[in-house]
Amino acid sequence: MKRIFDLFFSFSALIFLPPLFVIVSILIKFDSQGSVFFKQPRVGYKGRRFYIYKFRTMAKDAEKKEIKLTSSHDSRITKIGKILRKYKIDEVPQLINILKGEMSFVGPRPELPEYVELFRKDYEYILNAKPGITDFASIKFRDESKLIKNSENAEDIYTKEILPQKIELNKKYIKERSFSLDIYLIFLTLFYLFKK
C-alpha cells in the first residue's frame, strides 16, 4: 500500500511540476554559478547507499569546504537558496528518489554515512525502514539550521544534541508506523509548511 501511494503521488507530482523545475532552475542559474541540482551520498534501506537529490542552494563547490552542516546564517547559502530552504522547495527533487524506490514520502530522514557509522547500533534498527522526506524528527527539527547558530561548533551541536533526539524519534516512528500515521505526518508537515 505504501509503495503504491509513493509511486502514484511522486509520479503525479512530477508530471505537473516541470514548470516549477524550469522556474527554479532559471533562478538558480541567474543567482550563482554552478549546477541546478545538488546530490549527496546518504545511507538508505538496509544500509544501501544512494544519492539524494536537491535543488542547489549554496555557492558552487561549497561542499568542498568540508563543512557538512549548514546554519541559518551560513555565508555559502545563495540569495535564492535562502528562499528555497525556507519553503522546503529545495527538497522537491527528492520525488525522483521516491520514484526510484530509494525513499518514501514518510520515513526517517536519510543520514550521511559518517553519522550512521557514529551511531551504528541505533541505525541497524532504523535502517529497517525506508528513509523518507518527513517524519516525527523532520517536523520537530524543521528549523534545524536556526539551532545550529554557527559553523564552528555546528558539528558538536548536531552530533551531541540534535542527532540523538532524531534517532529516538526515528525509533518512535518505526515502532508506531502505519499507513494512517503516514497520512497524519504528511498533513502535519504541510500544515507547518503553509504556516510559514
- What pLDDT does residue 63 have? 66
- In the chain, how many domains are there? 1
- What pLDDT does residue 74 have? 75
Question: Model's pTM, two decimal places?
Answer: 0.90
Low-confidence stretches of the chain (pLDDT < 70) are: 62-73, 149-152, 196
Please check whether residue 55 is in contact with residue 34, taking contact to mean a CB–CB distance below 8 angstroms: no
Of 145, 168, 2, which is closest to residue 74 (Cα–Cα)? 145
d(CA 25, CA 28): 5
The per-residue DSSP string of 52-72 comes to EEEE--B-TTGGGG------T
Count of H helices and E strands in the chain?
11, 4
Q: Around 20, how many Cα atoms within 13 Å sit in the side-chain half-sphere?
A: 12
Domain range for 26? 2-195
The per-residue DSSP string of 117-142 comes to HHTHHHHHHHTTS--EEE-HHHHHTT
- What pLDDT does residue 78 have? 94
Please check whether residue 54 is in contact with residue 90, taking contact to mean a CB–CB distance below 8 angstroms: yes
